[in-house]
Amino acid sequence: MPLPPAPTKRAARVAKEAFDVTARTSKRATATTPDTEDTQPTPLTSSPAPALTPPPVRSSKKAASTATASAATTAAAQSLAQQRAAVQQKAATATPAPKATPAPAPATPAASSRKRSTAPTAAAPAPVASNPARPTKKRTGQSCLFVLDTNVLLHDPSSIFRFEEHDIFLPMVVLEELDAHKKGMTEVARNGRQVSRMLDALVDAQQSADLAIGLRLDASGNKGSTGHLFFQTVPLDYRLPASLPQGKADNQILGVVQALRAAKQGQQEVILVSKDINMRVKARALGLPAEDYRNDKALDDGDLLYTGSLALPADFWRKAKNVESWQQGGRSFYSLSGPVTTPMLINQYVYFEAPGEPSLHARVTEIRDKTVVLETLRDYSSSKHNVWGVNARNREQNFALNLLMDPEVDFVTLTGTAGTGKTLMALAAGLCQVLDERRYTEIIMTRATVSVGEDIGFLPGTEEEKMGPWMGALDDNLEFLAKGDGGNPNEWGRAATNELIRSRIKIKSMNFMRGRTFLNKYVIIDEAQNLTPKQMKTLITRAGPGTKIICMGNLGQIDTPYLTEGSSGLTFAVDRFKGWPHSGHIQLARGERSRLADFASEVL
C-alpha cells in the first residue's frame, strides 16, 4: 500500500472530513467540497471494515479548531497513521471478503460522491425506511381503499361513514354527477344535497388539511369512521379497452380504479363499490375487484330472517331444569331454565307438539339470566274467542291474533306469502279494539303506492279518493267482515253497519306523514315490503301515546326498484325490533285464501 502524501496545511484541513471512516448520510456526502473529495484516499471509501472501529478523527477535529496550523498538521498525520495501522491489522485478522472491489487511484468528485451516498444506505437502512414503512404496513394489513360510485351516495348519503377503518376515494366525475342530481324534490335529489352538505362539513372542519393527503372522516363527529377521505385532485393515467366509450361516467370511474390499483400496488387494496350490477360485471371483466354496498342490508340471506316462533325439541321437558308452574288471571305460567332457553327472545312464541303428549303454545314474557317465563296463549281458533267473527285457522294465525290483541305490544310485524290472512286479521283486530273495546279512537290505513305494472297517471279527487284504487284489499276485507263468512251479520249479534265501520277507518297517503303525531290510533301499514328503511323509520316515529302500528308485507313481492329482501324496510324493522318487550313478529307459513292461491304461491 503506498504511503500517503506529506501532511500539508491543506491536507490537515481535509483530514477532518475525508479521513473519518464512520458511515455518513448521502446529504452530508453531497455537501462536501470538490477540493475535499479530490484529496480523499481511495482505500477508505471502498473498505467496510473501519465502520466497526471508533472514529478517532472527532477528537482531532475538535482540537484542530483551537490549535495552530502546525499542530493541526501534526495531529492529522498521527491520526492518519493510526487509521492505516488499524485497517491493515483488521484486514489481516478478519475473514477475507468474497470479492474486493478495487478503487481507481484518481477518484473524480462525481464518483466519490456516488460511492459515499450509497454506502450509508447499506450500513444503516433503518433510519431511512422507518418513516414511510409505518403507514404502508398499517394500510396493507388493516385498511382498503374503496372507490364509491355515485349511486352508492345517492342511495345512502351517510355511506362514506360506513366503512370503519377503511379509506374512501371519490373521483371527480362522481362529484359532477352529484351536482347534476341535486335539483328537484325527489328522494334522489334530497340525498344528493345531503351528501354535498356532509362533504362540505368535512372540508370546513379541516380547512388547513391538504386534500391530496386526505381528510379524516371522524373530524365531523363520526367516531366510528377512522379512515380518510380522498378526492381526485390530479388527472390519472389509465388505459381502458377502445370498445368502452371514454366519455361515459361509469367508464371514467373504472379508469380511476385501474389507475389507483397501479399506483397502490403492494400498499393498499383498491375496491370499487357500486349498486349498479352491470358496472360491477364490467369491472370484474377488466380484472378490477368490485362489491355491492351491503351496509344497507339487514341480512345477507332472507332465510335467516327472524320468524318470531320457535319449535321446542321432543325432549324439551326432560332437558328443562327448575320447572315451576302457576295460574294467574286465567293463564298458566311456566318458569324454567337450562340450555333449551338459550335461543329464546322476549315475545317469541314457542310451541311443543309431540305424539302422545299434550301440546304447548306459549309466549316468552320474561328472561332473567338463563331463566325464562312462558305464558300460555288464548286459543283464537275456538269460536268462543273469535275476533270480529274471524278465527285462526292455523298455529301461526293464532300467534298473530295474540299479538294483535295484546295492549302491551305497540309494534307488530307480519310477513307471509299471499293469502295468509295478514290484512284480514289486522283489520279484524283493529275493528274489535276500536268499536268494541274502544281502546283506540280510529284506524289509519296506508300503503306504499308502488304499482306492479305501468303507472296509470294522476288520479283525481281528494287524498282519500286518490288512495282509493290502492286500497282494493281494504274494500275486499271489509266486505267479508261486514256480512260474515256465512252471509248473516246477525251471527255476531252486532248492529254496526258498513257506514259505521267506514267512518272509523281513515285512508292516508304516506307522502303527507312527516311531522304528524298519531294519538290513540291503530295504524296499519300494508305492503310494507316496498318501503325503504328511511321511509319505515319515518312512519314508525309518527306514533304517539297509546298508538299501535302494524306492518305487513310479503318479501317475495317487492316492486320498488333497487330494493331486495335484505335491504327492504320491513326486513330492517323485523331485525331491529326483535327482542324488544313491546314488539312482536310472526311469519305466517300457510295460505288460507284458497287452494288455487296457495298452490300458485308455491309453484310460481
Cell representation of residue 111: 464518483
Cell representation of residue 477: 276485507
Cα–Cα distance measured from residue 79 to residue 553, given in angstroms and rounded to the nearest whole number: 94
- How many Cα atoms sit within 13 Å of 215 on the Cβ side? 25
Q: How far is CA 210 from the centre of its chain?
A: 26
Q: Nearest to residue 270, comparing CAs of 298, 289, 295?
A: 289
CA distances from 583 to 380, 548, 568 (A): 20, 10, 19
CB 25 within 8 A of CB 48: no
Q: Nearest to residue 366, comparing CAs of 404, 400, 330, 328?
A: 328
Q: What is the pLDDT of residues 529-550, one digit of tens each?
A: 999 888 899 999 999 999 999 9
Q: What angle do CA 390, 395, 396 make, to 5 degrees?
A: 80
Q: Which residues pair with 550 in a beta bridge?
A: 412, 524
What kind of fold does domain 145-292 have according to CATH?
Rossmann fold (3.40.50)
Confidence at residue 537, expressed as pLDDT on a 0 to 100 scale: 92
Cell representation of residue 441: 279512537
Residue 269: strand, helix, or coil: strand
Cα–Cα distance measured from residue 252 to residue 240, given in angstroms and rounded to the nearest whole number: 9
Cell representation of residue 394: 292455523
- Judged by phi (left if over 0) then psi (alpha if -120 to 50, else beta), residue 329 lies in left
What kind of fold does domain 406-450+464-603 have according to CATH?
Rossmann fold (3.40.50)
Chunked mean pLDDT (size 10), the chain, 604 residues = 46 44 42 41 39 41 41 56 63 46 39 36 36 36 86 91 92 94 87 93 88 87 88 89 88 94 91 93 94 78 81 89 91 91 93 88 92 94 89 94 95 92 93 92 86 59 68 77 57 57 83 86 93 90 95 90 85 93 93 81 78
Q: How far is CA 439 from the centre of its chain?
A: 41
Residue 182: strand, helix, or coil: coil
Whether 145-292 shares its CATH topology with 309-376 is answered no
CA distances from 501 to 97, 331, 392, 485, 490 (A): 104, 32, 22, 17, 16
CB 218 within 8 A of CB 226: yes
Cα–Cα distance measured from residue 279 to residue 283, given in angstroms and rounded to the nearest whole number: 6
CB 91 within 8 A of CB 49: yes
Cα–Cα distance measured from residue 444 to residue 519, given in angstroms and rounded to the nearest whole number: 11
Strands 442-447 and 521-526, bridge-based pairing: parallel
Cell representation of residue 115: 460511492
Confidence at residue 12, expressed as pLDDT on a 0 to 100 scale: 42
Q: Domain 309-376 classified CATH 2.70.98?
A: no
Q: Nearest to residue 484, comparing CAs of 440, 443, 445, 428?
A: 428
Confidence at residue 135, expressed as pLDDT on a 0 to 100 scale: 35
**Helices 533-540 and 569-577 sit at what angle, rounded to 10 degrees?**
60
Q: What is the pLDDT of residues 248-272, one digit of tens each?
A: 999 999 999 999 999 998 889 999 9
- Written as one letter, the residue type at 581 is P
Write down the domain spans for the chain: 145-292, 309-376, 406-450+464-603
Cα–Cα distance measured from residue 469 to residue 528, given in angstroms and rounded to the nearest whole number: 17
Cα–Cα distance measured from residue 587 to residue 420, given in angstroms and rounded to the nearest whole number: 10
Could you tell me which residues come within 8 angstroms of residue 470 by beta carbon, excluding any fewer than 6 positions away? 447, 449
Confidence at residue 296, expressed as pLDDT on a 0 to 100 scale: 73
What are the strands of the beta sheet with 521-526, ordered from one edge? 505-507, 442-447, 521-526, 548-553, 411-416, 583-588
